[in-house]
Chain A
């Protein structure tokens, strides 16, 4: 079974530029998550999708971040314009159904973003 795929693995941009990250979850997984992991901290949820609908985007900075999952499969996370404090690893994860209490989230390798 293929794991969660993410691209690119690394990205360096200047502040005020835009950037996009892509995630392809495990086949059949209905729930997809984007997490932000700042150096030295644990991952923090940005947005959660179930199929192509948003379940939770309460911690997404909507003035600059956007995400979509149009066909309920792969997803794109965009930052426009980027700030220095957006430097982090962006993790995508997926799970089988709707995120029940015993469900396992499977994580991709992450995209490491550096904003200069």
Chain B
């Protein structure tokens, strides 16, 4: 079945550091890929998405590129801020199943 694997956290960075959170997936067919973010005390929010190979999703300075050849969708940001501290979830949407499959989440802690 389909699955998503994320790097384990927590990831601790200093403000203005470069961020990469790795995500790889296994799926039958061609899923759409998502990054969701969960800030402390809040619900999941869509951060960005990509629906086909080589698409790049971007939002709030975050980027991720859908790499079919490596089945990856790594999240990057050039300069993190304290306000980016949250849990980040990679997810895929496989039309055969019609629901999101999530990774286990990666906690990011940004220190001033």
Contacts and interface: CB of A to CB of B under 8 A. Distances in A.
A25 interface: no
Interface stretch (A68-76, A78-86, A103-111): A103-111
For chain B, give the interface size range: 20 to 34
A101 B44 contact: no
30 contacts: A33-B99, A35-B100, A40-B105, A41-B104, A42-B4, A42-B91, A42-B102, A42-B103, A43-B100, A43-B102, A45-B99, A45-B100, A48-B99, A56-B97, A56-B99, A91-B43, A91-B44, A99-B93, A99-B98, A99-B99, A101-B32, A102-B32, A102-B51, A103-B93, A105-B46, A105-B100, A107-B36, A107-B44, A107-B45, A108-B43
Given A45-B99, A98-B98, A99-B93, 17 more contacts: A3-B43, A33-B100, A35-B100, A43-B44, A45-B100, A45-B101, A55-B98, A56-B98, A99-B98, A100-B95, A101-B31, A101-B32, A102-B32, A102-B51, A105-B100, A107-B45, A109-B42
